[in-house]
Chain A
Amino acid sequence: KAGVTQTPRYLIKTRGQQVTLSCSPISGHRSVSWYQQTPGQGLQFLFEYFSETQRNKGNFPGRFSGRQFSNSRSEMNVSTLELGDSALYLCASSPRWSGQGSGNTIYFGEGSWLTVV
């Protein structure tokens, strides 16, 4: 069974540009979550999607957005990139969303490394 797949793995963008990251969840998983990891910080929650609907949103500015498609694949977009957006962006999938049972294990991809110059 294939794991969570994220593309691209590495990318470099210039300030002011926008970027789209893609995540393919494990087959059969309908929940996709996104996290940001920056040096010195823990994983910061961005948003969670389930059945094409955003179920949860973290404390990030509106420049960060996402969506989920009918096949459960998800994309996140960051517009008007800032230097501080340089980070590892992790996607995670699970069969259920966080509101459906407490024993819900989530499975992470390897992440997309974004560098903003």
Chain B
Amino acid sequence: ILNVEQSPQSLHVQEGDSTNFTCSFPSSNFYALHWYRWETAKSPEALFVMTLNGDEKKKGRISATLNTKEGYSYLYIKGSQPEDSATYLCASINQAGTALIFGKGTTLSVSS
């Protein structure tokens, strides 16, 4: 059974701080890693889909890295803003034709 873990569970930062979260997943038979942002009362929004070891992706102030050999991904937010407050989910898929397995998420709260 694929087990995806995220840390920390929650995080509170001040506006302007940079922060990062961790997603760990079994490295065997790795296929793809997804990151989502989920704001309250909205639908989860896809941020990145990452497949290659060493992959780095960036979207505005948010970036992510992937290490498939050791089974972890980091999500970075540079200069956090109140609108970044959300739950960030990662999900892994371990081989073609299987479903995404989600972690429980990291909830970020940014104070102005």
- Which residues of A (69-117) have their CB < 8 Å from a CB of B? 90, 97-111
Q: How far is the CA of A85 from the CA of B13 in the complex (A)?
A: 34
Smallest CB gap from A44: residue in B: B102
9-residue interface stretch from B14-22, B71-79, B92-100:
B92-100
- Which residues of B (74-110) have their CB < 8 Å from a CB of A? 89, 91, 93, 96-105
Contact of B49 among A48, A104, A110 (CB under 8 A): A104
Interface size on A, residues (CB 8 A): 30
Please classify how large the interface on chain B is, using the bins under 10, 10 to 19, 20 to 34, 35 or more.
20 to 34
B102: chain A residues within 8 A (beta carbon): 35, 42-45
Interface presence of A33 (CB below 8 A): yes
Interface presence of A28 (CB below 8 A): no
CB distance from B103 to the nearest CB of A (A): 6
A106: chain B residues within 8 A (beta carbon): 34, 46, 100
Q: How far is the CA of A43 from the CA of B34 in the complex (A)?
A: 13
Q: Mark A21-55, 1 if CB is under 8 A from B, else 0.
A: 00000000000010100001111110010000001
Interface presence of A18 (CB below 8 A): no
Q: Mark B11-48, 1 if CB is under 8 A from A, else 0.
A: 00000000000000000000110101000011111100
CB distance from B32 to the nearest CB of A (A): 4
Contact of B99 among A33, A40, A90, A108 (CB under 8 A): A33
**Is A98 a contact of B96 with CB atoms below 8 Å?**
yes
Interface presence of A58 (CB below 8 A): yes
**Is B89 a contact of A43 with CB atoms below 8 Å?**
yes
Interface presence of A3 (CB below 8 A): yes
CB distance from A81 to the nearest CB of B (A): 24
* Residues of A in contact with B (beta carbons under 8 Å apart): 3-4, 33, 35, 40-45, 48, 55-56, 58, 90, 97-111
* Residues of B in contact with A (beta carbons under 8 Å apart): 4, 31-32, 34, 36, 41-46, 49, 51, 89, 91, 93, 96-105
Query: Could you list 9 A-B pairs, sorted by A, with CB under 8 Å?
Result: A33-B99, A41-B104, A97-B97, A98-B98, A98-B99, A98-B100, A99-B97, A108-B44, A110-B43
- A41-B104, A43-B102 given; name 12 further pairs at CB < 8 Å: A42-B4, A42-B104, A42-B105, A45-B100, A56-B98, A99-B96, A100-B96, A102-B49, A105-B34, A105-B46, A108-B45, A110-B43
